[in-house]
Amino acid sequence: MRQINILMFFILCLAFLCEGRVLAEALTRDSGADTFFRANKEYSAGQKAIAEKREQEAVEKFEHAVQLYEKLLGSGFVNGQIYYNLGNAYYRLGMSGKAIIYYRRAEKLLPRDADIKANINLLKLDFEDKASIRQLPEILKIVCFWYFFLNLNEITSITIYMYLALMASILSFVFIKVQWLRNIIIIFASCLLVLVISLGIKAYSQHSIERGVVVADESKIRYGPGEEYEPRFEIHEGAEVRIEEKKDRWYKVYVYVDVEDFRDDEDKKEVEFRIGWIPEAEVGEI
């Protein structure tokens, strides 16, 4: 048990080092730092105005903060805190769909941030559409803690460090043939194998599976990519979808919420009711 705790502490230390390095590199860009601090100032002023019941001023401050944060993102200045603040700003502006998009983006970079998860869950309580995807068992999150606690960049960095440690151990064993070095090589090789598998799954999940969030108040999911096709069902702002295909400014999506089909045909499987086409303008990609 003690060895597991030490390993977890070691991995988290590496994660914090990687995260700090990425933020430091971002802050050293030409004018990005100045825009970042101005955006944070407007965001904080909006929060203060909300607390003091100055609603109109709060809206203006959050709108200005959104413009500055979006400008930063457009220039390649990407950071989890920017996404999180954008999510909060859009929430304060009454744009729940946009808020979920940026909370999900922040979650990818800051998987250990409990506030992000809490805000997502709080928002979903008020959504008209309820999620139909079951949550992963907590025991799985505990056993595979590194996968859920680390982002893609952190797992990549730790995998590289583990590979270097393994190579150093092997070279040491060539010159110093002792049993404890053999045991260390086995441990490092096992950890590297697990990390490589985790890295592959994480990369596939984040880059090969496209996801989006409905940003329109109400959207009809149709049988085909066009207004001439009949609607299958309706979904509402904040509903999350998996994007299967793109065609002529339409997305073919799988919907992650319970829906009520427009047809009376009960012979079709329920999963088929959750697949259809939605206009590109009504979905924001995560």
Greatest CA separation for the chain: 75
* pTM strictly above 0.85: no
Listed by start position, the domains of the chain span 2-125, 138-208, 210-285
> How would you write the pLDDT of the chain (286 residues) with one tens digit per residue?
454 454 455 555 555 555 555 555 555 555 577 888 889 999 999 999 988 889 899 999 999 999 999 998 888 888 899 999 999 999 999 999 999 999 999 999 999 999 999 999 999 888 888 777 667 777 888 888 889 999 999 999 999 999 999 999 999 888 888 888 889 999 999 999 999 999 999 999 888 889 999 999 999 999 999 999 999 889 999 999 999 999 989 999 998 887 766 665 555 545 556 899 999 999 999 8
In degrees and rounded to multiples of 5, residue 257 shows phi and psi of: -130, 160
CATH number of 2-125: 1.25.40.10
Residue 89 neighbours by CB under 8 Å, 6+ apart:
43, 46, 62, 65, 66, 69
Cβ atoms of residues 84 and 110 within 8 Å: yes
Q: 210-285 architecture in CATH?
A: Roll (2.30)
d(CA 60, CA 274): 38
Q: How far apart are CA 70 and CA 247, in angstroms?
A: 27
The pLDDT, as a whole number, for residue 257 is 81
**Cα 4 off chain centre by:** 27
- Nearest Cα neighbor of 250 from 214, 223, 216, 279 is 279
